[in-house]
Amino acid sequence: MAIAELLPQLLFNSVVSGSVFALATVGFSLTYSILKFPNIAQAAFITFGAYFAYTISSVWMFGFASGILAAFLATGILGALSYAVIFRPLGRKVSGFVAPTVASVGYGLALTFIIQQIWGRDLLLFSTIFDAFSFGPFRTNWLWNTTIVFTLIVVVAMHYMLARTKFGAAMRGTSSNPDLVRASGIHIDRVIIFVWFLGSALAGVAGVFLAGQNGVAPVLGSNMLVTVMAVAIFAGVGSFYGVIAAAYILSFAQNLSIPILLSIGQPSFYSIAVAYAVVIATLLFFPRGISGTGPKLELLIAKMRKVV
Amino acid sequence: MYEFITFLGDAAVIILIFATLSLSVNLQYGSTGIFNFGIVAFFMIGAYTLSFLELAGFPFTLALAAAIALSGVAGLLISLPALNLRGDFLSLATFMFAEIIRLLVLNVPSLGGAVGIARVPSAFQAIKVYSDLVAANIVLSLAVFLVFCVVYWAMISSPYGRVLKCIRENEMLAESLGKNTFRYKAQVFAIGSVMAGTAGAVYSQYLGFAGTELFTYSVTFMVYIMSIIGGSTTLLGALLGSFIYLSIQDFLRIAKNWVTIPVDPNNLAFILFGFATMLILYYRPEGIIREKLRQVKYPHGNPTP
């Protein structure tokens, strides 16, 4: 009975946290599919975005919105620079995924502790306070509303870009067959730099949304790292639409399992453990993730049509 | 002076424990090419098994044996499904596994919960003087490290090790030579887990404590950085990497008492390691100590490739 009453709010909360998951994961997933290594430094990008927005909005008092914008630009530039200065030369020199992965570990470490050196270890709270109010059946606040609207805009814009523009076609091509794209005379490097810019920028904004609620500390990004990996794997690496779906599914599963677990007398942490276990199962049984099942479903439907 | 020697002894114990962990990375990743990104899980399993059994009244040797057995079995069980995965997915799966184990322990109070397990009895309960205790622990951790060095050396410098290197360089080739690569990899995974588990057991009895904050995934990162810096394909590389990493960290911690650095020494240590890792990966990907490759002498001169 309790669950039925809570359901609308749970759904709403899942949409909010799912939006943050999606923003944080897009870059990880796209760069993974293009450069074939998991970029651990994504966690540091999330933290950096949050701190940068903190300085702009709460120290220099430009307001929360300009904090988001500044974090978007600054983290994007940081990401693009990281690719140009570190991962591009490394990828040209060393083959395999291990070297760039460990390099991204080292880079993330350095970045996190540079951040810690600049801003300190303590939890910093944004000066903007978001008051909760009722909106239909939901309790919400402007931070959450902004999160949802921002993610919606990103999804629509990305969809338009990927589906309708030539640049988007180049992006899709780059992640599925880079050699072919290069052979067609497209500057693949520009595409990759743009993907790094966009992915890091969105991660930075995700950091701002996370920090707006509970404040920002150096561990903000690394606490998200496992979730980011989980969403990326569950989605099937490299699929933008998969990431969006997986983010909402995982966050919904997590949010919904909390009252269910509590009602049967189990500690609520299992919701996270269950989510990770689902991800490991995904890896073991259909490593292409949920986006990889799409073509299979289409094939199945086509076969059924023939039979019918 | 007395305090300083004890301090050095303490550093030596930690260096040897992490050298053992690093050796397990060298066996799995450096020699066989298995990128196990969840090494901390087995470190943790060893530490917790020992702590629980010692607190339940078992003697150290029995608890250590159980820790070794349990971490080995856990490694074998994890490796069976995980080794079917492609390299990078294997690393992500083991990474998630380690995080699940940590969350499980963190949230189940009977496993220690967020508080951890305090007052884990030392292996040397008869020794009351702290400096003697440190000395005894140096002997213990050195013995563990040397035993695993012998295991590692015996594995690598035998036909078995050449199969492992063949798997690392070209798994298809090893398969085509009739080697059951899956079995080799599972064995290496299990033995590496045993090394990590034993290191964990020694670690927790030395600290007298086992808690989830000691076993976050940053331990895995640290150990991989040690292994890469020192040289992930050689025995000495493991020790050297661990030595460099931990001694620089300690050195910066002491140095702050003598010179004023504008940067917090703890932060500076990690920033330096981050950059050192990237530079070494770029300029010397095999690490400081390189693997000596066997030279084949052809009777009529070397064939041109």
Tell me the C-alpha distance between B210 and B218, whole Å: 16
pLDDT band at B126 (very low <50, low <70, confident <90, very high): confident
Residues on B contacting A at a C-beta cutoff of 8 Å: 29, 35, 81-82, 84-89, 91-93, 95-97, 99-100, 103-104, 106-108, 217-218, 221, 224-225, 228, 263-264, 267-268, 270-271, 273-278, 281-282, 285
3-state secondary structure of B48: helix
Is the pLDDT at A94 greater than 90? The verdict is no
Q: Is the pLDDT of residue A286 over 80?
A: no
User: d(Cα A56, Cα A207) in Å, to the nearest integer?
Assistant: 14
- Assess whether pLDDT exceeds 80 at residue A146: yes
Chain A residues within an 8 Å CB radius of B92: 38, 229, 233, 283
**B202-254 per-position pLDDT tens digit:** 999 999 999 999 999 989 999 999 998 898 888 999 999 999 999 888 888 88
Tell me how far apart the alpha carbons of residues A27 and A152 are, in angstroms, rounded to a whole number. 16
**What is the mean predicted confidence (pLDDT) over A66-86?**
95
pLDDT at residue A293 greater than cutoff 70: no
Using alpha carbons, select from A298, A286, A305 the residue that is nearest to residue A236.
Answer: A286
* ipTM score over 0.90, yes or no: no
Rounded Cα–Cα distance for residues B124 and B137 (Å): 8
pLDDT of residue B304: 64
Q: Tell me the helices (H) and strands (E) count for chain A, helix number first.
A: 13, 2
Confidence of residue A1 (pLDDT cuts 50, 70, 90): very low
**Does position A42 have pLDDT exceeding 90, yes or no?**
yes
Task: Name which of B108, B221, B271 is nearest A114 (Cβ-Cβ).
Answer: B271
Select from A106, A267, A272 the Cβ nearest to the Cβ of B274: A106
Chain B: give the shortest CA distance to residue A76, in Å: 21
Measured distance CA(B250)–CA(B10) in Å, rounded: 11
Tell me if residue B210 falls in helix, strand or coil: strand
Q: Which of A42, A87, A88, A105 would you mutate first to test chain B, the one with the most B CBs within 10 A?
A: A105
Using a 10 angstrom Cβ sphere, with 0-12 exposed, 13-18 middle and 19 or more buried, the burial of residue A125 is middle
On whether the CB atoms of residues B288 and B240 are closer than 8 A, the answer is yes
pLDDT of residue A235: 86
| Core vs surface per residue A181-208: b (16+ CB within 10 A) or e | beeeebebeebbbbbbbbbbbbbbbbbb
Residues of chain A above pLDDT 90, percent: 42
Task: Output the pTM of the full model.
Answer: 0.89
Cβ–Cβ < 8 Å for B129, B74: no
On the CB side of A228, CA atoms within 13 Å amount to 32
- pLDDT, averaged across chain A: 86
pLDDT value of position B114: 84
- How many residue pairs bridge chain A and chain B with CB atoms within 8 Å of each other? 124
Q: Kindly determine whether residue B270 and residue A283, on different chains, have CB atoms separated by under 8 Å.
A: no
Cα nearest neighbour of B266 on chain A: A113
- What tens digit of pLDDT does each residue of A243-269 get? 999 999 889 888 887 777 777 777 666
Find the domain containing A296 and state its range. 2-307
User: Are the beta carbons of B103 and A98 separated by less than 8 Å?
Assistant: no
Question: Band of the pLDDT at A130, cuts 50, 70, 90?
Answer: confident
Contact residues on chain A for B35, CB-CB shorter than 8 A: 97-98, 101
> Most A CBs within 10 Å: which of B88, B219, B249, as the mutation test of the A interface?
B88
For residue A29, pLDDT over 80 is answered with yes
DSSP H or E stretch at residue B140: helix B130-156
- Selecting from A106, A114, A272 the residue whose C-beta is nearest the C-beta of B278 gives A106
CA A84/CA A91 separation, integer angstroms? 11
Q: What is the pLDDT of residue A297?
A: 59
User: Taking residues A137-146, what's their average pLDDT?
Assistant: 85
In contact, B229 and B284? CB cutoff 8 Å: no
Q: What is the DSSP letter of A138?
A: E
pLDDT of residue A34 exceeding 90 = no
Q: What is the pLDDT of residue A296?
A: 58
Average of per-residue pLDDT across A97-116:
92
- Confirm if B282 and A85 have CB atoms less than 8 A apart: no
d(CA B164, CA B32): 5
A263 versus A306: which is more confidently predicted? Answer: A263
Chain A residue closest in CA terms to B84: A284
How far apart CA B15 and CA B247 sit, in angstroms, is: 8
Of B82, B86, B228, the CB nearest to A102: B228
Contacts (Cβ under 8 Å, ≥6 apart) of A230: A250, A275, A276, A279, B96
The total number of structural domains in chain A stands at 1
Q: Using 50, 70 and 90 to split pLDDT, how confident is the model at A33?
A: confident
**Cβ(B171)–Cβ(B18) below 8 Å:** no
Res. B52: pLDDT tops 50: yes
Check: CB of residue B205 under 8 Å from CB of residue B122.
Answer: yes
**Do B167 and B184 meet the contact criterion of CB atoms below 8 Å apart?**
yes
Report the pLDDT value the prediction gives residue B29, as an integer from 0 to 100: 92
User: CA-CA distance, B46 to B40, in Å (whole number)?
Assistant: 10
The nearest alpha carbon in chain A to B89 belongs to A283
Which pair of tokens denotes residue A128? Answer: 């903007």
Give the whole-angstrom CA distance, residue A112 versus residue A219. 8
CATH number, domain at A144? Answer: 1.10.3470
Domain boundaries, chain B: 2-213
Who's near B190: CB < 8 A, 6+ residues apart? B72, B73, B75, B76, B79
B86, B97, B225 ranked by CB distance to A105: nearest:
B225
H or E element in which residue B117 lies: strand B117-118
**Rounded to the nearest 5 degrees, what angle is found at the Cα of B293, between the Cα atoms of A90 and B193?**
75
Interface residue ranges in chain A relative to chain B, Cβ cutoff 8 Å: 36-38, 40, 86, 89-90, 93-94, 97-99, 101-103, 105-114, 116-117, 222, 225-226, 229-230, 233, 267, 269-270, 272-273, 276-277, 279-280, 283-284, 287
Per-residue pLDDT at B167: 93
Contact present, B46 and B197 (Cβ < 8 Å): yes
Which three-class secondary structure state does DSSP give residue A113? helix
Of residues A285 and A268, which shows the higher confidence score?
A285
Q: Which residues contact A248 (CB under 8 A, 6 or more apart)?
A: A14, A15, A18, A21, A22
Taking only the tens place, the pLDDT of each residue in A159-202 is 999 888 988 888 888 887 888 888 888 888 899 999 999 999 99
- Quote the pLDDT of residue A267: 67
Nearest-CA neighbor of A88 among A193, A167, A198, A172? Answer: A193
How far is the alpha carbon of B224 from chain A, nearest alpha carbon, in Å? Answer: 7
Cα B291 to Cα B168: distance, rounded to the nearest angstrom? 13
DSSP per-residue letters across B211-274: -GGGGSHHHHHHHHHHHHHH-TTSHHHHHHHHHHHHHHHHHHHHHTTTS--SS-HHHHHHHHHH
